[in-house]
Amino acid sequence: MEEMELILDEGEGYLIEFKESVSDSLAKEMVAFANSSGGRIFLGVSDEGVIKGVNITNRLRSQVQDVARKCDPPVSIILDELANVLIIEVREGTDKPHSCKDGFFIRTGPSSQKLRRDEIIDYFNHEGKIRFDEQFCMDFKYPDDFSEERFQRYLQQCKITSNLSSEQIFTNLGVAQRQAGRLLVEFAMKVGH
């Protein structure tokens, strides 16, 4: 109980959020903590740090677990209770970034901030979810920018024989994809060009 008093006195912060009840914003807070360093949500506490309390039932626990499961990917939480307050410990995500129906969020100081489109792209890059070599090179025109002769020489050096066309080989290797009648090639393949 002493730790609870210290937390209430200090108020909300980077690792602490107060919620009076389960609301639509609970998923947003869970996602923000999972995308940051983790944190704890105190359900049954007002923004001012006053214990209002909640009726902690299996239904409430299940409701909170459902919110965590509906995040994409699901958020890992541990539930605890103290003095009619449900404490939701949100673990830092191992498969970031997490999102909820309202978008992608991170913890910034004592609040959760929605990421803009460019910030989401940066976040995916930072987490290693987007790799340069797996991106399509939009300025590479197949077959104009492609050397069939070099490719056949490469296949011979690797002792690869195939009755497939070059395009079929690229597609089977996963380094190219046909979209809107055009063969899109990954940067990894262009680098070898």
Q: How many domains are there within the chain?
A: 2
Clarify whether residues 156 and 93 are in a common domain.
Answer: no
pLDDT mean over 114-140: 73
Residue range 1-41, pLDDT digits in tens: 688 888 888 899 999 999 999 988 999 999 999 999 999 99
pTM for the complete prediction? 0.68
42 residue type, one letter: F
Full domain range(s) for residue 138:
133-191
Q: Which residue has the higher pLDDT, 67 or 159?
A: 67
> For the domain that residue 66 is a member of, what is the CATH number?
3.30.950.30
Radius of gyration of the chain (CA): 25
Last residue of a domain, one of 70, 99, 126: 126
| Residue ranges in 36-77 assigned as alpha helix (H) | 58-69
34: Cβ–Cβ under 8 A, 6 or more apart, which residues? 71, 75, 76, 90, 91, 92, 93, 96, 98
Q: Which residue has the higher pLDDT, 67 or 125?
A: 67
38 residue type, one letter: G
Nearest-angstrom CA–CA distance, 84 and 82: 6
Clarify whether residues 23 and 86 are in a common domain.
Answer: yes
Share of the chain above pLDDT 90, in %: 52
Last residue of a domain, one of 126, 145, 162: 126
